[in-house]
Amino acid sequence: MEVDGTSAGLYFSAVNSAAVQAQKTFGETRTQKTDKTRRKIFSSAMEKAKEEFELQKDGFPREIAGLDTEEAAIYLKDQADMAADRLKETQTPEEFANYRKKIQQFLKYIEKNNFEVKKRERRGFSKKGKPLEPQFKIVAINEKLDEMARWLLNSHRETLGMLSRINEISGLLVDLMAS
């Protein structure tokens, strides 16, 4: 060890530069982690916004974005049940329209997410010489969702009957006005 301080100064300057370098590296990795986290948050927000847009375009509520198929179906069924209860309490045109919309949303969601259409091309020609039409087969993917749809239709049979009678009357009125 030297007494004049040159070796101690070199030691402290090396330690200082190592500390500064470590601080820069730590700051860069922290910035990189922060940037990666920001990108993940942004991309997940973009995916959710895209999903919400697609749902709204198809006529579904935004609230089912991010839910799995079964949770979304339960949410839509609950919305239809609440609309039915409100319709039974107050039978206004607005409540009829709301109930109809909720039932349509539920059934459309079940149709879109629970059934798969399989198309089988057929070879050959009919007796008239035309190519044979393809055959279609509809397969239920999730039996639980299918059962839920059957239950909803059975439990709302009375309200749906009332709705169909109102639609019949509306159709008769339109026919009468057109005559």
* Digit-coded pLDDT (tens) for 68-115: 888 888 898 889 889 888 888 888 888 888 888 888 888 888 888 776
- In contact, 103 and 59? CB cutoff 8 Å: no
pLDDT score of 32? 59
The tally of domains found in the chain comes to 1
Q: Is residue 151 part of a domain?
A: yes
Provide the pLDDT for residue 138.
66
* DSSP secondary structure letter of residue 131: B
Tens of pLDDT, residues 2-54: 445 455 566 667 667 776 776 666 655 555 566 667 777 777 777 777 777 77
SS3 173: helix
Residue 18 placed within a domain: no
What is the pLDDT at residue 26? 60
Question: How big is the chain, counted in residues?
Answer: 179
Residue 162 lies in a domain: yes
Residues of the chain with pLDDT > 70: what percent? 72
Taking alpha carbons only, the member of 101, 110, 99 closest to residue 162 is 99
Q: Please, what is the end-to-end C-alpha distance for the chain in angstroms? A: 115
| pLDDT score for 1 | 46
CA distance 166 to 171: 9
User: Tell me: the pLDDT tens digits for 123-137?
Assistant: 888 888 888 888 777
* DSSP states of 18-63: HHHHHHHHHHHHHHHHHHHHHHHHHHHHHHHHHHHHHHHHTT--GG
pLDDT for 88 equals 81
What confidence score (pLDDT) does residue 8 get?
Answer: 58
Domain assignment of residue 11, yes or no? no
Q: Is residue 96 assigned to a domain?
A: yes
Find out whether 69 and 57 touch, Cβ atoms under 8 Å: no
Domain that includes residue 164, residue range = 67-124+131-178
> Is there a domain that residue 78 lies in?
yes
Tell me if 25 is assigned to some domain.
no
Q: What is the DSSP letter of 124?
A: S
User: Distance between CA 134 and CA 121 in Å, rounded?
Assistant: 5
Structure tokens at 59: 């006529």
What is the residue whose two structure tokens read 């079964």? 70
